[in-house]
Amino acid sequence: MTTRPEAAQSLKDLVLVGHGMVGQRFLEAFVEQPGAAGWRITVLAEEPRAAYDRVHLTSWFSGASAEELSLTPTGFLAEHGIDLRLADPATAVDRAAHTVTCASGAVLRYDALVLATGSYPFVPPVPGHDAAGCHVYRTIEDLERIRDGAETPGTRVGVVVGGGLLGLEAAGALTALGLETHVVEFAPRLMAIQVDEGGGRLLQRKIEALGVNVHTGAGTQSVLTGADGRVRAMGLSDGRELPADLVVFSAGVRPRDQLARECGLPVGERGGVVVDERCRTRDPHVYAIGECAMAVDGRVYGLVAPGYAMAETAARSLADDGDDVDGGNGLGEEHHFTGADTSTKLKLLGVDVASFGDAHGATEGAVDVLYSDSRAGIYKKLVIGADGRLLGGVLVGDTESYGLLRPLAIGGKPLQTAPEQLVLPSGLVPVAGPIALPDEAVVCSCHNVSKGEIRAAVHDRGCTTVPEVKKCTKAGTGCGSCVKLLGTIVAEELEAGGVTVDRSLCEHFGQTRAELYEIVRVAGIGGFSELLDRYGRGGEGCDVCKPAVASILASLAGGHVLDGEQSALQDTNDHFLANLQRNGSYSVVPRIPGGEITPEGLITIGEIARDHGLYTKITGGQRIDLFGASVDQLPQIWRRLVDAGFESGHAYGKSLRTVKSCVGETWCRYGVQDSVGLAIELELRYRGLRSPHKLKAAVSGCARECAEAQGKDFGVIATSAGWNLYVGGNGGMTPRHADLLAADLDKETLLRTIDRFLMFYIRTADRLERTSVWLDRIEGGLEHVRQVVLEDSLGICAELDALMARHVDAYEDEWAAVLADPDRLRRFTSFVNAPGTPDPAVTFVPERGQIRPARPDEDGRILTPALVAGPRLEVRTA
């Protein structure tokens, strides 16, 4: 009756039913146990794919592939000899015979059985609930069906039943699919489990502002179908009829305990296989973990962190007493699973929501401390016990303090700071540091790592960086929400231990970039060798310090970036004054100040691109990028651009990129100032300015902010009285809204303030530190910067002004200078021993009427000017 081969009889058989997130975590934990090698593991999975990240399922709609969502590391199963059987779910368990039967008919013997079957979506048994057009939201296949449904012609309105966490995720997905979206929630507020009334109200307002229609306090009575049997409307408990073409049920989940029920294992009243603190069911050979299990505290946990904790407990427990199922008791109590913290922090439809501890103030004698600002969209409530301890809280709109507050609440020590300090916006009051956290406070709830364990990793196990602590303790490797706090704890611990945090730029310089800047400035250093010899640690230098020093020298000493010793320090982009692309070719971006360009200019760029066969694309900074140039082509392309009056756009440098602008009052009905004129003036003033990282800027002609100035390193917004200056904004990976540095400035004051802001940033920032990070890092933050540049609190403004004046005076177009110098031109050749030979490895294929790099399996062709342009190359436009 066994399908197993006769060999390896000495191995014991472990069968895991279910390969979801918790099942995979169990496998990872189990194979690390000392006795794991004595087990042969088989996994029965219902879905056609291995474990994937269900928590981030919604990201599938925004482009994450099933592969990217996968949680099973490549080679993991093979390495541990795990037999994963996809799309072959278990159908029955015979506990007396110790066997599991699968859908395929196979019968497997087990010495230990682990149930990790998860849960299924609850669909209210209303009439029509199974009509065509009704969906649930749990697997990648469900998502595929929802997408197909939404894309069917005539599908216009989507209704989500359930306003909880998953329901809002689903609503976001429907909105993104272009449907008019409604959320129907039975409870009087959204996310009723996590947030309180006030938080729910704010959440609803924010979500409605995103175009989602919310109906709270409304039950689903029926799903009404049309003649074709498809969904046409929802009947609500208040008698309304809501037109609907597509319905997603996400009204909660129920444990999948059918297997356990059928083989006689006890289950809870509301479902869930009953397990003890070691995650064992009543049968010592059978374990249950995750959403299908009911823990000793009588709860069924629907979150991943408790599931992971159960997986770890079961893995240890099984490895510990697998030999003697009735006796073994070596499992320390610290590994028992007796219940879990259900705190959550998430971003729903772009709205930050967090809830932790006793969020609803259920503890007797608990009082609230509340901060609410409807205008800013922030709601924060802390629940404080009668004894002054923090018990829990709700945060909507701003969850920055979650990482600090949750451990305080779970740690259970009396607060050392006044609670109002913990909810008021930072800046109004000093924020308590994590030093105030007790050692037992859990910092990483995904892996249950306490502050004490992180401290021990630093002072007992020699970790000195966050990555080392992550490796050592696993803290911060789950959802990642605690990484920032982790960094602060590590730094504090190092400092407390008398260890100076190593802030060396690299192995060649013990100084930070800012310190090197000061040395170069004060000692009047003129070159890299001199700096390395006098102030460095010897060696050749490297790709970290060379470009950083080159940038400092360029900011302080000026001169062409390709002059003398400096030329050897530059990154490849600066070296060739162009941007390296993935196949080794370069792109070219001429400066188009403020995004303003004449028809003649456009035609010239178009002709040059056409003659050289370049791919063209409009950039986000309102200019034109020309792709696919070889190094040999760069001077030819730039010769024509320079002749036509263009100059370098410095897209390749850590320097000012563009000053984007809206069209402004000249044309726009709403504009109050000439934003284009100012943008051009700013771009010409700061062009070529080398800095620790790239600089982006924008000017908006009115408060509508069409130029998105608040997302830039410096942004200017017109007011009727002058200009408002914003600094420290960022888009990209870590968006940050800029801070208002000064309001209603006249133009002269505006220029002077920007001059000083930029020069102060260049002087004090770390290598590759954008203004946004810099502003958050430097002591005193925005207020300090304001005092330095507006009130000259450090007495350096005259110096900053002089440096900028010198920059403005000394500016020359780098490309024009290269073209005028045969020495500098010489480097623009693909092969030093075969000038004029194009790089045979750089090949292209056509796509949408232009070129793109050929992939390794494609037969592309080499692009030479002659090939593309023929005789036209000889025709000069100027």
Partner 1 sequence: MTEMLTRPVATEARTGLVEILDGRTWSRVCPLEELTPGRGVAVLSESGQQVAVFRDRSGGLYAVDNLDPFSGAYVLSRGIVGSRDGAPTVASPMYKHVFDLRDGRCLDEERTPDGRPAVLRVWSVRIVQEGDR
What is the binding site for partner 1 (CB under 8 A)? 507-508, 529, 539-543, 546-547, 565, 567-569, 571-573, 575-576, 580, 582-584, 826, 830-834, 837, 839-842, 856
Is there a contact between 754 and 682 (Cβ–Cβ < 8 Å)? yes
Q: How many CA atoms lie within 13 A of 385 on its CB side?
A: 16
Is there a contact between 80 and 41 (Cβ–Cβ < 8 Å)? yes
Give the nearer residue to partner 1 in terms of CB position, either 849 or 856.
Answer: 856
Give the nearer residue to partner 1 in terms of CB position, either 193 or 542.
Answer: 542
The DSSP code sequence of 368-399 is EEEEEETTTTEEEEEEE-TTSBEEEEEEES--
- Minimum distance of partner 1 from residue 830's CB (angstroms): 6
- Minimum distance of partner 1 from residue 652's CB (angstroms): 11
Give the nearer residue to partner 1 in terms of CB position, either 508 or 657.
Answer: 508
Q: How crowded is residue 712: how many other Cβ atoms within 10 Å of its Cβ?
A: 28
Give the nearer residue to partner 1 in terms of CB position, either 798 or 832.
Answer: 832
- Minimum distance of partner 1 from residue 541's CB (angstroms): 5
> What tokens does 91 get?
């159908």
The b/e string for 262-285 (b: 16+ C-beta within 10 A; e otherwise) is ebebebbeebbbbbbbbbbbebbe
Give the nearer residue to partner 1 in terms of CB position, either 262 or 565.
Answer: 565
Q: CA nearest 196: which of 425, 372, 376, 11? A: 372
Rounded Cα distance, 442 and 454, in Å: 10
By DSSP bridging, strand 134-136 and strand 119-121 are unpaired
Give the nearer residue to partner 1 in terms of CB position, either 486 or 569.
Answer: 569
The beta strand positions in 692-762, using DSSP E, are 695-700, 714-719, 722-727, 739-745
Give the nearer residue to partner 1 in terms of CB position, either 582 or 876.
Answer: 582
- Minimum distance of partner 1 from residue 833's CB (angstroms): 5
Give the nearer residue to partner 1 in terms of CB position, either 276 or 839.
Answer: 839
Rounded Cα distance, 235 and 224, in Å: 7
Rounded Cα distance, 371 and 377, in Å: 11
- Minimum distance of partner 1 from residue 74's CB (angstroms): 10
Write phi, then psi, for 683 (nearest 5 degrees). Answer: -65, -40
Give the nearer residue to partner 1 in terms of CB position, either 39 or 828.
Answer: 828
The DSSP code sequence of 35-49 is GGGGEEEEEE-SSSS
- Minimum distance of partner 1 from residue 584's CB (angstroms): 4
- Minimum distance of partner 1 from residue 577's CB (angstroms): 12
- Minimum distance of partner 1 from residue 767's CB (angstroms): 13
Note the Cα 829 to chain centre separation in Å: 40
- Minimum distance of partner 1 from residue 785's CB (angstroms): 31
Is there a contact between 471 and 461 (Cβ–Cβ < 8 Å)? no
- Minimum distance of partner 1 from residue 769's CB (angstroms): 17
Q: CA nearest 652: which of 846, 815, 438? A: 815
- Minimum distance of partner 1 from residue 692's CB (angstroms): 17
Which residue type occupies 619?
T
Rounded Cα distance, 357 and 367, in Å: 14
The H-or-E segment that residue 288 falls in is strand 286-288
Give the nearer residue to partner 1 in terms of CB position, either 749 or 864.
Answer: 864
Give the nearer residue to partner 1 in terms of CB position, either 19 or 508.
Answer: 508
Give the nearer residue to partner 1 in terms of CB position, either 667 or 831.
Answer: 831
- Minimum distance of partner 1 from residue 840's CB (angstroms): 8
Give the nearer residue to partner 1 in terms of CB position, either 407 or 838.
Answer: 838
Rounded Cα distance, 591 and 396, in Å: 43
Three-state secondary structure string covering 443-496 = EECCCCEEHHHHHHHHHCCCCCCHHHHHHHHCCCCCCCCCHHHHHHHHHHHHHH
Rounded Cα distance, 266 and 362, in Å: 30
Give the nearer residue to partner 1 in terms of CB position, either 708 or 839.
Answer: 839
- Minimum distance of partner 1 from residue 444's CB (angstroms): 27
- Minimum distance of partner 1 from residue 841's CB (angstroms): 5
> What tokens does 484 get?
């920032």
Q: Helix 599-611 to helix 633-643 angle, to the nearest 10 degrees?
A: 160
Q: CA nearest 293: which of 20, 13, 110? A: 20
- Minimum distance of partner 1 from residue 533's CB (angstroms): 11
- Minimum distance of partner 1 from residue 828's CB (angstroms): 12
> What tokens does 212 get?
């989602």
Task: Give bridge partners of residue 724 from the DSSP assignment.
Answer: 717
Give the nearer residue to partner 1 in terms of CB position, either 87 or 841.
Answer: 841
Give the nearer residue to partner 1 in terms of CB position, either 498 or 840.
Answer: 840
Show Cβ contacts of residue 362 under 8 Å, excluding neighbours closer than 6 positions: none
Q: CA nearest 475: which of 455, 503, 505? A: 455
